[in-house]
Amino acid sequence: MSDFLQQKFGLRGKVALVTGSSRGLGLAMVRALSAAGADVIVNGRAAASLAPVTAELAATGAKTTGIAADLGQRAEVQRLIDQAVAWQGHLDILVNNAGIIRRAPAAEHSDADWDAVLDVNLNGVFTACRAAGRHMLARGSGKIINIASLLTFFGGINVPGYAASKGAVGQLTKALSNEWAAKGIQVNAIAPGYMRTDNTAALQADAVRSKEILSRIPAGRWGEPGDLEGTVVFLASASSHFLTGQVIAVDGGWCGR
C-alpha cells in the first residue's frame, strides 16, 4: 500500500469490532477491516462459531480475538463493548451488523417475533452505540457504522418488525451524528441491497419473488457479501472524516430505479 493509500485508507493501530461477524455480511466486513490493518474483534452468539474466523485471520498475521454475546440482551451488549475496549485498551471502530428477521404477514406477526427483532436490530444497536460512544467521546475520535437496509427507505412485504427496526436505525444514525460529529465521531450507515445471505434464503428460494427482485436491480445480479468491503473500509478510515449522518445504499442501483 502506498503512503497515500495507507494514510487515507489504512487502519493500522485501530481496533474494530464487527457484531455478527462469524458469517455472511459481517464476516466479509471483518475480513476487509483486518486486511486494511485493523486489529479486529469477531462477534457472534455462539463462542464455537468464532474460533474458525479468528484462526483464519490470525493465519494472515492479523491480531484478532472473539467475544461471544447475545445482542438481544442489553447487559450482554454492554459486556461486549466493555470487553472490546479492554482487549487493547481502546475501540476505534464499531460496526453494528448483527441482525435478525422474522417473516409473517402483519396481521399474523406475533408479539414474540416483533420483540425479538426490535431487541436485536434496534435496542442492541442503540445500546452498543451508547456504550462505544461514551468511550469514543472521552477519546475525541471514533467511527460507528450501522448496518441499515433497503427497508430503511421502503416498507417491504411480510417483515413489519424488520422494516420498523431498520427505519429506526437510519434515524438513529442521523441523531447520533448530530450530537457527536463535532466531537470527532463519525456515525454513518450502510444499507445493503438484496444480498446472498442466510437472511434472504427464503427470497432466493421463492422463484416468483426472486425474479421480481432481480428484474429491478440495474446491476443484473444479487449482491455478494464482498460487495460491502470497500464501503466499510472507507467509512472506517481517515478518508471519511467529513462524511457523517449518511445512509449509503450498496444496492446495485435498486434505489435509483
**CATH code, domain carrying 234:** 3.40.50.720
pLDDT tens-place string over residues 143-201: 999 999 999 999 999 999 999 999 999 999 999 999 999 999 999 999 999 999 887 88
What range defines the domain where residue 243 resides? 3-250
Which band of pLDDT confidence, cut at 50, 70 and 90, is reported for residue 203? confident
pLDDT of residue 1: 60
Mean pLDDT is lowest, of 54-63, 124-133, 189-198, 206-215, for: 206-215
Domain count, the chain: 1
Strand ranges, E, within the chain: 15-18, 39-44, 64-68, 93-96, 142-147, 185-192, 247-250
Q: Residue 255: inside a domain, yes or no? A: no
H helix and E strand count, the chain: 10, 7
Catalytic residue flag (residue 194): no
Q: Residue 199: inside a domain, yes or no? A: yes
CA pair distance 142, 241, nearest whole angstrom: 10
Amino acid at 27: L
pLDDT of residue 174: 98
Catalytic one among 114, 126, 162, 254?
162
pLDDT tens-place string over residues 113-146: 999 999 999 999 999 999 999 999 999 999 999 9
Residue 147 grid coordinates: 448496518
pLDDT tens-place string over residues 90-118: 999 999 999 999 999 999 999 999 999 99
Q: Residue 256: inside a domain, yes or no? A: no
Q: Residue 113: inside a domain, yes or no? A: yes
Q: Residue 17: inside a domain, yes or no? A: yes
Q: Residue 217: inside a domain, yes or no? A: yes
pLDDT tens-place string over residues 23-46: 999 999 999 999 999 999 999 999
pTM to 2 decimal places: 0.96
Higher pLDDT, 6 or 125: 125
